């Protein structure tokens, strides 16, 4: 079960394409920009609405205060109409007119804001009631200015003015309450917008983080796949397709490495050249597919018997090269002779062995091994010769 999860994740990642990640990332970036622009626009609108609601609420409160002051003046005027107060000074008409005009200005300023239909209807009622209050107060002042006052008529005017004021103040209170609700609603809307903006940013951050992690996973997976592909391509470029041994190019890569290692360790290094005997005749008699089978079978059998540090290369055609680290020429000759038995179809080979002296070049040691191979062929084939020595190991020709 534990191994199934990584395989499932790997399978799902295989189905994800880089262009899809790019499209999703671009869409998220565009969405983020749109959300940010929209949030800024709505925030500006909400802030403007909130500031307007606060200013409107302040104006409504000031109008309410001026209305209370005007009502106090009206109460004092009504009381001055009693017989006991007729000797008091007559109230100044200009003072009342100025107070009513100031209240009217406040109402006009309130009307300059973006009110709802209900609020505008309430404001129209206030202006009408204020006009009636101005008319009644003018009548009260005119009545107070006469030498003889009809007390009943004065009381009726005072009661009418009182009713108008009550209606005015009720409408004004309702308008103030409506404006306050508008300010509270704007504040609540701003708070909700801020909360929504924070949540949107958190979601956008989480999605962006998830995409970043996914992109990292895909990048790591792509790097691993590319590295594996590159290693495989390098291996194929250095490997002989028929036999599985390294090819001539691979041999050119590993020889300098083995020579440098032998020089550092001061251990012997043997180079062996192997050539299958009369292989052209074998191909002509059995056919090239059979010849390929012999080459493949011989190389695979040899690879199984060699050490991990030994190197087998197909030098060309039916010729092979062996690099044997930490092995002198005589040990190499004994190893080569053990490689004769597993060759398919009793095919024989000749071999030449050269031990690197630590100073000569690659071409020189290969040339000595190749010369030893030539001597083995001249000596009758199916044998191993060591460069610079008389034949050390010889085998009788195999009788078919």
Cα gap 182→180, rounded to integer Å: 5
Question: What is the per-residue pLDDT for 389?
Answer: 79
Question: What is the per-residue pLDDT for 330?
Answer: 94
Q: How many CB atoms sit inside 10 A of residue 271's CB?
A: 28
First to last CA, the chain: 59
Q: Are 90 and 145 in contact (CB under 8 A)?
A: yes
What order do you get walking across the sheet with 349-355 strand by strand? Answer: 311-316, 319-325, 269-276, 349-355, 384-386
Q: Nearest-CA neighbor of 302 among 246, 362, 252?
A: 246
pLDDT < 50 regions, the chain: 1-5, 8-9, 11, 85-87, 392-394, 397-400
Cα gap 190→183, rounded to integer Å: 11
DSSP per-residue string spanning 22-39: HHHHHHHHHHHHHHHHHH
Q: For residue 91, what is the DSSP state?
A: P
Q: Distances in Å between the alpha carbon of 157 and those of 6, 68, 77, 121, 163?
A: 94, 19, 11, 27, 10
Q: Are 98 and 135 in contact (CB under 8 A)?
A: no
Cα gap 251→258, rounded to integer Å: 10
Cα gap 29→26, rounded to integer Å: 5
Structure tokens at 87: 């000797």
Cα gap 28→10, rounded to integer Å: 25
DSSP per-residue string spanning 271-290: EEEEEETTHHHHHHHH-HHH
Structure tokens at 189: 């809307």
Question: What is the per-residue pLDDT for 399?
Answer: 43
Cα gap 340→346, rounded to integer Å: 9
Strand partners, 312: 322
Question: What is the per-residue pLDDT for 167?
Answer: 73
Cα gap 95→366, rounded to integer Å: 127
Structure tokens at 3: 């191994």
Question: What is the per-residue pLDDT for 15?
Answer: 58
Q: Are 236 and 224 in contact (CB under 8 A)?
A: no
Cα gap 339→354, rounded to integer Å: 17
Structure tokens at 385: 């010769």
The CB-side HSE value for 199 (13 A sphere, CA atoms) comes to 6
Cα gap 396→383, rounded to integer Å: 8
The CB-side HSE value for 202 (13 A sphere, CA atoms) comes to 6
Q: Nearest-CA neighbor of 146 among 79, 86, 82?
A: 86
């Amino acid at each position: 079960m534990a191994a199934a999860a990584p395989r499932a994740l790997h399978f799902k990642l295989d189905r994800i394409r880089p262009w899809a990640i790019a499209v999703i990332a671009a869409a998220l970036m565009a969405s983020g920009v749109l959300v940010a622009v929209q949030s800024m626009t709505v925030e500006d609108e909400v802030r403007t609405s909130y500031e307007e609601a606060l200013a409107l609420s302040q104006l409504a409160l000031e109008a309410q205060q001026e209305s209370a002051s005007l009502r106090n003046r009206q109460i004092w005027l009504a009381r001055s109409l009693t017989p006991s107060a007729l000797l008091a000074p007559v109230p100044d008409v200009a003072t009342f007119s100025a107070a009513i005009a100031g209240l009217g200005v406040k109402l006009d300023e309130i009307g300059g804001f973006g009110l709802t239909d209900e609020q505008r209807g309430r404001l129209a009622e206030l202006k009408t009631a204020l006009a009636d209050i101005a008319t009644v107060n003018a009548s009260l002042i005119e009545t107070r200015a006469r030498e003889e006052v009809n007390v009943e008529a004065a009381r009726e005017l005072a009661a009418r003015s009182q009713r108008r004021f009550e209606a005015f103040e009720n409408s004004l209170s309702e308008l103030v309450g409506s404006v306050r609700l508008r300010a509270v609603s704007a504040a609540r809307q701003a708070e909700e917008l801020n909360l929504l903006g924070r949540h949107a940013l958190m979601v956008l951050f989480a999605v962006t983080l998830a995409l970043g992690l996914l992109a990292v996973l895909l990048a790591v997976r792509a790097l691993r796949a590319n590295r594996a592909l590159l290693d495989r391509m390098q291996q194929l470029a250095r490997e002989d397709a028929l036999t599985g041994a390294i090819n001539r190019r691979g041999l050119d890569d590993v020889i300098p490495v083995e020579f440098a290692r032998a020089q550092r360790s001061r251990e012997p290094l043997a180079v062996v050249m192997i050539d299958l005997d009369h292989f052209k005749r074998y191909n002509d008699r059995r056919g090239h597919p059979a010849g390929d089978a012999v080459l493949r079978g011989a190389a695979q059998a040899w690879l199984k018997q060699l050490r991990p540090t030994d190197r087998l290369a197909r030098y060309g055609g039916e010729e092979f090269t062996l690099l044997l680290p930490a092995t002198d020429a005589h040990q190499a000759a004994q190893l080569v002779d053990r490689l004769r038995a597993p060759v398919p179809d009793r095919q024989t080979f000749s071999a030449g062995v050269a031990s690197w002296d630590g100073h000569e070049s690659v071409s020189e040691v290969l040339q000595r091994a190749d010369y030893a191979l030539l001597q083995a062929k001249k000596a009758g084939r199916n044998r191993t010769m060591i460069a610079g020595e008389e034949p050390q190991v010889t085998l009788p020709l195999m009788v078919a």
